[in-house]
Amino acid sequence: MSSQTHDQKYAKHFSDSSFWEKIKRFGKKAGVSVVYVALLLYYALQKPTTPLWAKTVIISALGYFIFPLDLLPDLIPGGYTDDFSGLFGALVTVAIFIDEDCKDKAKEKIITWFGEKALEETNAINEKLDNTKSEEIEK
C-alpha cells in the first residue's frame, strides 16, 4: 500500500467532532502522553500558518488515532501504544509548527482533564519537541 493511500485511509476518519468524541470517550484510558501529543497536533492544525503538507501529516495521524481498528485495537491493554507512536512521529515531523500557544492550549486541557500533577508527564514530550526544533533550525 502506498504511503499516500495509507495516509488517505486514516485522514478520512478525522473531523473536529470525531477528534473531541474520541478524547471524551477514551482520553483517560489513552493517558496523558497520548492525549497531550494529540492536542499539540490538533492545535497546530488549527493555525492558519501551518502549511498544507504539515496539516496533511497531522490529519493522517489524528485520523489513525480516531480509527478504532488499527494495528493494536484501542480496547485491549496497551492498545494506545501504536497510536502514541504514530502521533509522536507526526509531532516530530511537524515540530517546527508547534509553538507556545499550542503547548499552552494543550496544557490547559490536560490540567482540566487529568489535574495539574499530570503536567509532569508532558515535560519529556516538550523536551524532545524543543530538541527536534533546535536540530531543524541548525540544519
pLDDT tens per residue, the chain (139 residues)? 344 444 566 667 788 888 888 889 888 888 899 999 999 999 999 999 999 999 999 999 999 888 866 554 544 444 566 678 889 999 999 999 999 999 999 999 999 999 999 999 999 899 988 888 888 777 6
Q: What is the pTM of this model?
A: 0.83
Query: Cα torsion for 68, 77, 114, 109, to the nearest 10°?
Result: -20
Domain ranges of the chain: 3-138
C-alpha cell read off for 121:
508527564
Chain-centroid distance, C-alpha 5 = 20
Separation between Cα atoms, residue 60 and residue 85, nearest integer Å: 13
| CA pair distance 79, 107, nearest whole angstrom | 24
Residue 76 near residue 99, CB atoms below 8 Å: no
